[in-house]
Amino acid sequence: MTDALSMLAGGFGHVFSGGAAFHALWATLIGIVIGALPGLTATMGVALLTTLTFGLGSDVAMLVLVCVYVGAIYGGSRSAILLNIPGTPASAASTLDGFPLARQGLAGRAMGISTAGSWLGTLFGALMLALFAPSFGEFALQFGSYEMAWVALFGIVIAGSLSGGDPLKGYIAGFLGLFVATIGQEANHAYARFAYGNADLAGGLGLLPVLVGVFGVAEVLSAMRGPAVRAVSSKIDSVIPRIRDVTTYWRTILRSGALGTFIGAMPGLGEDIAAWTSYAAAKRASAEREKFGKGSIEGLMAAETGESACVPGAIIPVLTLAVPGSAPAAVLMAAMMIHGLNPGPMLAITAPEFIYQIVAMLIVADVVKLFYGLVLVRPLLWILLIPRERLMPVVFVLCTVGAFAITSRLFDIWVMLGAGLVGFVLRELRFPMAPLVLGIVLGDLLDKNLLRGLVLSGGDITPFFTRPISMVLCALTLAAALWSVPGVGALLRRRQAPMPK
């Protein structure tokens, strides 16, 4: 315990040694703006900033990315409350009660609830991260190639089953992502797969140009295709969170914080599922169930706390297993790899202090978020009024800079364009994007561990099923797959209250 506290203090010291306050201020602001603007998501924000901060040191880059992630998830609630349009998919549940509150002339109070819930959610999640990540990391050291292959497969299957929409399309998206990750030279014989003599393809498709394409270019196209978003002018009352709103619903806050963190820690589920689950759980447990959907303070508090607690939760498996808990966390993990930080089970041995530095970064970002939540009301309204015709081309320029930044290859800009067009078409055909991202990110992990496992066992596949941890992971993967089979899932879900519509 003393060790943990001194390491946490060290983490804060480390974060504040490099002009953290300045970087946290601008990065959280950018995150909030990206989150608030419909069409720009947290994943896109983290992907873009990963490439744009490539020239900075790894400490500053990590702080910036954590701040953007935390800020973007919170920022999405502003447009959810004021426009009834979730700024990021994570804020969809916040529209249900946030917008009705705004229509009742309580937009300020709704934003205050969102600020308080989001602040407490991230704080709760960060404390869980500090508490559980180191010990879970040590447990994960027992994972060998067989187990890591299952962990990667489990991530794809659970993201496909539960990331929203159609599980079958989720699985296909996941395997497409895994396939994209196989393009280029493989590790054993340096054979260039699917390269056809092209030197650029032999180098593989860069992870970040693909992600900037799928989340940046595709979103620009989606935003320009749809009808223009019309902003409402809403009278805004005081945005200062009321202590009574927090003390009355402390059970909801704790429950949503725990659920959000847990869902975040499940590979590939992400903030939107965390928000919906927290909302549904709060509705089930509430004495004021009839108010949900009509401007319930408890409902908004649950959704906001859940989605914000998910952010640190999603970083837990990144640091302990090198498996991301959400799409933005996948990009954050890629950024860690690019900066040579090697997330995964070995982190508990090689750099245990890094876990506490991330906790310190999350808490700093959370405090800055609280500050902006209290002061940044009018300016954010003006930003929401920027016409997309003027905003989207600037976003596209930033995507181009981002795609080029890491390896300085024009080929990466083409990759971004191709990934953007394919991502747009897949999205139009209702393929969820979270499993695709997870597939691309986990491709290397699965590829290496599957082959290494086969080599170690001399071609025998039984260790994949008979080793104790493998057996559990295999059972979980099968259960996740069975959950999505029509009939089986319905049987299990019948006992649960339906999700809000």
Partner 1 sequence: MSEAEAASPFAGERAPASPRADLVTAAVLFALGVAIVQQSLAMPRFVEQSGTGLTAPGIVPGFYGVMIAALSLLLGLRAIRRGGWSAGGAARRGAGEGRRLLLAAALGVLYAGVLVGRVPFWLASALFVFAFTAAFEWNRGPERRARRILEAALIGLGTGLAVTLVFEKLFLLRLP
Site for partner 1 in 184-203 (CB under 8 A): 186, 188-189, 191, 193-194
Nearer to partner 1, 186 or 237 (CB): 186
Binding segment (CB under 8 A) for partner 1, from list 10-18, 109-117, 216-224, 338-346:
216-224
Site for partner 1 in 402-431 (CB under 8 A): 404-405, 408, 410, 413-414, 416-417, 420-421, 427-431
**Count of residues touching partner 1 (by CB under 8 A):** 78
221 near partner 1, rule: CB under 8 A = yes
Q: Could you give the CA distance from residue 208 to residue 197 in angstroms, rounded to a whole number?
A: 23
462 near partner 1, rule: CB under 8 A = no
478 near partner 1, rule: CB under 8 A = no
From 73, 362, 440, 446, residue interacting with partner 1 (rule: CB under 8 A): 446
The torsion angle over the Cα atoms of residues 412, 418, 419 and 423, rounded to 10 degrees, is 160
297 near partner 1, rule: CB under 8 A = no
Report DSSP letters for 147-190, one per residue. Answer: HHHHHHHHHHHHHHHHSSS-HHHHHHHHHHHHHHHHSEE-TTT-
From 119, 215, 262, 396, residue interacting with partner 1 (rule: CB under 8 A): 396
Binding segment (CB under 8 A) for partner 1, from list 67-75, 250-258, 309-317, 386-394:
386-394
Site for partner 1 in 319-378 (CB under 8 A): none
CB of 7 to partner 1, least distance (A): 31
The upper half-sphere exposure of residue 458, i.e. CA atoms within 13 Å in the direction of its Cβ, equals 0
From 432, 437, 440, 464, residue interacting with partner 1 (rule: CB under 8 A): 432
From 21, 131, 232, 475, residue interacting with partner 1 (rule: CB under 8 A): 232
From 350, 393, 475, 497, residue interacting with partner 1 (rule: CB under 8 A): 393
Place of tokens 């876990």: 355
From 48, 96, 334, 436, residue interacting with partner 1 (rule: CB under 8 A): 96
58 near partner 1, rule: CB under 8 A = no
Residues 414 and 232 sit within 8 Å (Cβ to Cβ): no
Q: Which of helix, strand or coil describes residue 233?
A: coil
157 near partner 1, rule: CB under 8 A = no
487 near partner 1, rule: CB under 8 A = no
- Angle of helix 218-225 versus helix 388-405 axis, rounded to 10: 170
Q: Which of 269, 215, 188 is nearest to 398 (CA)?
A: 215
From 12, 169, 237, 381, residue interacting with partner 1 (rule: CB under 8 A): 169
461 near partner 1, rule: CB under 8 A = no
Alpha helices for 325-432 (secondary structure H): 327-338, 347-350, 352-375, 378-384, 388-405, 410-428
Place of tokens 């104790």: 468
Q: Could you give the CA distance from residue 442 to residue 440 in angstroms, rounded to a whole number?
A: 6
What are phi and psi for residue 193, nearest 5 degrees? -80, 140
Q: Which of helix, strand or coil describes residue 193?
A: strand
Amino acid found at 42? A
